[in-house]
Amino acid sequence: MEERDTNQIVFNQPAGHLEKDESLLEAVCRETLEETGRNFTPHAVTGVYRLPHASEDVTYLRFCFCGTCSEPLADKELDVDIIATHWKSREQLTQLALRSPLVLRSIDDYLLGKRFDLDLLIEP
C-alpha cells in the first residue's frame, strides 16, 4: 500500500500494533482490513524480523504472514494515512521508496517458499 509516513510517501505492507486483548492473528486481519479494505485469511508465517530504529531507542519486531485476501469491500474507508492500495511485483518495488527494508526481505522469504505453521503462535 501507498501511505504517508511523516512528510513522505512510501510503500509498505499492512502493518500495525496489537490492541489490548487482541491476538496476533486478529491484529493481522484487522490491520489488513483497515489499511487495504480487504479481508485477510492468514495461512502461514513467512518470517519474524527484528529491526532497530535508526534514530530512536526503539526496536521493531515484525511478523509477516501469507494468506488469501478478499476483493475490496464496497464502501470500506481506509486508514487516514493510506493513499491507495496496489499489487506490485518485487521488481517494481525495488524502484519505489519503501517504508522499511523488511518489505523486500519478507517478499524474498515468501518467494523462497519460507512458511511456518500458524501453530507457532501460542496465545493464552
Is pLDDT of 88 > 90? Answer: yes
3-state secondary structure 87-99: CCCHHHHCCCCEC
Distance CA 103, CA 74 (A): 27
Q: If residue 4 lies in a helix (H) or strand (E), which one and from where to where?
A: strand 2-5
Query: pLDDT per residue over 34-59, tens digit each?
Result: 999 999 999 999 999 999 988 889 99
Domain limits, the chain:
2-117
* HSE toward the beta carbon, residue 91, CA cutoff 13 A: 0
Quote the pLDDT of residue 124. Answer: 83
Topology of domain 2-117, CATH? Nucleoside Triphosphate Pyrophosphohydrolase (3.90.79)
Quote the pLDDT of residue 55. Answer: 83
